[in-house]
């Protein structure tokens, strides 16, 4: 981590936005005025978005905050003003500053705000070796200011938004540009600015993530379900819950918690009484659909064996690394050697290993390496796996050297 951090005890509380809490933009006239102000502003544009994770099914934005020199701060209600494409055009040439950009880019794109240039303060902090990269911690360590983070998990779909929530939202972008400037200087001084630029460009160029295969397998506690019939119950209940949650725009856990799905898969109740003996099924939301839950369990119970789920999800990549030693001992040795080489480099460059080179790229490279273990062949393979040029330049020789050494020692022989 960087050596020059500010002690928490010396941090100055940031209690009020400099120009006060701006009125929420919630009609066409106010939005047009904001567009003009930001078009006339100067320099980077700080942006943040508030969602209602844990409350709503959708990942949409319920408040968008922006700040720019010469324009001040704008708080925009994207429910009342769902099209921000004119605002996007007004700042098209500016760098957009976000913290943890991948969390907000999708919901911003839904309302027509798509950055063309990006500075991600969280990712910059990771590249610089900060151990904790939450916005509040970064502002405190870098700028010596303390942000109040008490409303980060609020239900931002609530209307009207309380004044203290709006104050919190405005403060989230209040010093984001100052944080960007300080981190930019650190990146430049540490020779990491071009690395950061490649990372930011990769974030903007990334294709949307494809839908997860078998998303029901991510049910918390599913490891307790040891039978295929039980997995079928999980799948049926998860699918029903997902549909009910989507229809009501509620977070799935508010319709039925994962713990209820797993318990039902273990006990497979046949009657309403047996179902309601599982406590979460007596909750107000779950109780409305008792017949549907029982129907889902019944469908799983009579499903032909050929239609039961497989024990594990199909995948297009290597198996879990903890199985490599049994399935392919040579691959396990390659993985350990490559990981050690990358970890040493990450330590030398003071950043997390996963930011120096993606763990999935290391796994895929070492599970099926090219016949030629030289720098050029490994670099070509890493490029195919999505590694950035700066990552390849830093890591490929060390990985090549480690794998060639293993091969020379005969440790990869069957």
Q: How far is the C-alpha of 414 from the C-alpha of 158, rounded, in Å?
A: 62
| Confidence check: pLDDT of 328 > 80 | yes
| Confidence check: pLDDT of 327 > 80 | yes
The percent of residues above 70 in pLDDT, for the chain, comes to: 97
Q: How far is the C-alpha of 280 from the C-alpha of 220, rounded, in Å?
A: 15
With CA atoms as reference, report the closest residue to 136 among 8, 278, 324, 260: 8
Confidence class for position 313, pLDDT limits 50, 70, 90: confident
Q: What is the mean pLDDT of the chain?
A: 95
pLDDT at 377: 97
The percent of residues above 90 in pLDDT, for the chain, comes to: 90
Go through the chain and tell me how many residues it has. Answer: 414
* CA angle, 393 then 397 then 403, to 5°: 140
| Confidence check: pLDDT of 131 > 90 | yes
Q: What is the DSSP letter of 358?
A: -
Mind listing the pLDDT tens digit for each residue in 60-85? 999 999 999 999 999 999 999 999 99
Q: Which residues pair with 42 in a beta bridge?
A: 69
Mind listing the pLDDT tens digit for each residue in 337-388? 999 999 999 999 999 999 999 999 999 999 999 999 999 999 999 999 999 9
- Average pLDDT in the 149-158 region? 88
pLDDT at 150: 78
Q: What is the DSSP letter of 83?
A: -
pLDDT at 9: 64
- Average pLDDT in the 175-185 region? 98
Residue 38 contacts residue 91 (beta carbons within 8 Å): yes
Q: How far is the C-alpha of 95 from the C-alpha of 118, rounded, in Å?
A: 5
Q: How far is the C-alpha of 16 from the C-alpha of 166, rounded, in Å?
A: 11
pLDDT at 206: 94
pLDDT at 7: 60
| Confidence check: pLDDT of 8 > 90 | no
| Confidence check: pLDDT of 151 > 90 | no
pLDDT at 3: 44
| Confidence check: pLDDT of 4 > 90 | no
With CA atoms as reference, report the closest residue to 99 among 186, 206, 7, 203: 203
Mind listing the pLDDT tens digit for each residue in 264-286? 999 999 999 999 999 999 999 99
Confidence class for position 5, pLDDT limits 50, 70, 90: low
């Amino acid at each position: 981590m960087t050596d020059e951090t500010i002690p928490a005890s010396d941090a100055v509380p940031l209690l009020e936005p400099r120009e006060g809490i701006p009125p929420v933009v919630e009609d066409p006239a106010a939005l047009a005025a904001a567009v003009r102000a930001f078009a006339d502003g100067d320099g980077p544009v700080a942006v943040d978005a508030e969602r209602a994770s844990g409350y709503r099914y959708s990942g949409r934005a319920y408040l968008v905050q922006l700040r720019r020199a010469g324009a001040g701060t704008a708080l925009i209600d994207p429910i009342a003003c769902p099209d921000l494409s004119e605002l996007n055009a007004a700042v098209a040439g500016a760098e957009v500053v976000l913290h943890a950009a991948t969390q907000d880019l999708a919901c911003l794109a839904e309302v027509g705000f798509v950055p063309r240039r990006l500075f991600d303060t969280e990712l910059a902090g990771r590249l610089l070796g900060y151990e904790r990269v939450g916005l509040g911690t970064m502002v405190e360590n870098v700028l010596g200011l303390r942000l109040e983070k008490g409303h980060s998990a609020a239900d931002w779909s609530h209307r009207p938004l309380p004044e203290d929530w709006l104050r919190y939202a405005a403060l989230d972008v209040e010093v984001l540009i100052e944080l960007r400037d300080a981190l930019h200087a650190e990146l430049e001084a540490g020779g990491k600015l071009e690395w950061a630029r490649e990372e930011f460009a990769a974030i903007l160029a990334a294709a949307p993530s494809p839908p997860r295969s078998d998303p029901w397998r991510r049910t918390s506690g599913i490891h307790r379900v040891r039978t295929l019939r039980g997995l079928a119950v999980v799948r049926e209940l998860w699918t029903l819950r997902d549909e009910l949650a989507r229809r009501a725009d509620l977070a799935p856990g508010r319709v039925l918690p994962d713990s209820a799905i797993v318990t039902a898969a273990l006990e497979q109740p046949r009657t309403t009484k047996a179902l309601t003996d599982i406590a979460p099924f007596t909750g107000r939301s779950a109780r409305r659909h008792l017949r549907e839950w029982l129907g889902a369990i019944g469908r799983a119970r009579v499903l032909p064996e050929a239609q039961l789920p497989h024990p594990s999800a199909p995948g297009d990549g290597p198996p879990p690394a903890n199985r490599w030693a049994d399935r392919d001992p040579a691959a396990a040795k390659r993985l350990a050697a490559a990981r050690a080489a990358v970890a040493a480099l990450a330590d030398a460059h003071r950043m997390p290993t996963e930011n120096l080179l993606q763990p999935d790229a290391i796994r895929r490279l070492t599970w099926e390496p090219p016949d030629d273990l030289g720098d050029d062949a490994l670099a070509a393979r890493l490029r195919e796996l999505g590694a950035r040029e700066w990552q390849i330049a830093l890591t490929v020789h060390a990985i090549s050297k480690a794998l060639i050494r293993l091969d020379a020692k005969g440790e990869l022989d069957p």
